[in-house]
Amino acid sequence: VKLPKTDYEKCLELDYTETFAPRGTPMGTWVIITYADAPEYLDNWHWIAKAMDYIQTPEGAPPRKKRKQK
């Protein structure tokens, strides 16, 4: 999930999270959340909700691609 910086830092303090780092390079404020049992995802749904709220903000949205001018 992609989180705001303050939530990102709090989330990484938990035992079941790690930085999302494809090919060894951390990607911004993305976190991998892995639980042993599926019901734990429902118990900790607030991280998913925070991510969904964040990606709808200007700072959390992906950068817009620039169009080539003719």
Instruction: Measure the CA–CA gap between 67 and 70, rounded to whole angstroms.
Output: 9
Instruction: Measure the CA–CA gap between 19 and 51, rounded to whole angstroms.
Output: 15
Banded model confidence at residue 62, pLDDT cuts 50, 70, 90: confident
Nearest to 29 by CA among 61, 47, 4: 4
Angle between helix 5-12 and helix 46-54 axes, rounded to 10 deg: 150
pTM, full prediction = 0.73
Banded model confidence at residue 70, pLDDT cuts 50, 70, 90: low
pLDDT, residue 41, reads 84
Per residue in 13-54, pLDDT tens?
A: 998 999 999 999 999 999 999 988 888 888 888 998 999 999
Pair of tokens at residue 51: 């991510």
Compute the chain's Rg from CA coordinates. Answer: 14
